[in-house]
């Protein structure tokens, strides 16, 4: 992929994720009261408006709001800067790597904007099966997860290619 094309793919992926994330969170906040839930597929999937002051699975949710804000904002900014640096430096960035980084940075930016605006992240996708309940998440979290999986796939494929080439 040419240098300029990878930036186009990267910024389109990041922009689409950010727009979808902001639009879905806005729709949920305007249509739901906090903690309101509407079953979509009863017993499996609900739309539930919650706010998460921590990270994934409530990590650090019980620490002081000032510490959480500083810590999570700092981590997000560092991740965004690292991804941008890596994208600029990586001359062999193909479609999968570029797309994965765009998904991750778009999601990180969406959640960072929530932390800046609200001090916590808006979540609304709520899955459960029987007595097992997955913590609620949002479009940004989904994009970060898909991006991370694509990134891992690309890392393993590169390792296989290098091994096959005798490096």
Residues with catalytic annotation? 123, 141
Closest to 27 measured CA to CA, from 108, 133, 138: 138
**Number of Cβ within a 10 Å radius of residue 2:** 7
């Amino acid at each position: 992929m040419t240098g300029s094309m990878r930036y186009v793919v990267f910024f389109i992926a990041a922009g689409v994720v950010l727009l979808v994330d902001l639009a879905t969170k806005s729709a949920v906040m305007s249509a739901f009261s906090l903690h309101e839930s509407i079953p979509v597929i009863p017993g499996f999937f609900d739309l539930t408006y919650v706010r998460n002051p921590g990270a994934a699975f409530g990590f650090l949710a019980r620490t002081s709001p000032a510490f959480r804000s500083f810590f999570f904002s700092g981590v997000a900014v560092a991740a965004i800067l690292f991804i941008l640096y890596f994208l600029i430096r990586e001359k062999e960035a193909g479609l999968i790597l570029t797309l994965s980084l765009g998904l991750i940075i778009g999601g990180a930016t969406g959640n960072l904007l929530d932390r800046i605006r609200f001090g916590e992240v808006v979540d609304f996708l709520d899955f459960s099966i029987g007595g097992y309940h997955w913590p609620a998440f949002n479009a940004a979290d989904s994009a970060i997860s898909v991006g991370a999986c694509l990134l891992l796939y690309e890392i393993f494929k590169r390792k296989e290619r290098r091994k096959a080439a005798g490096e």
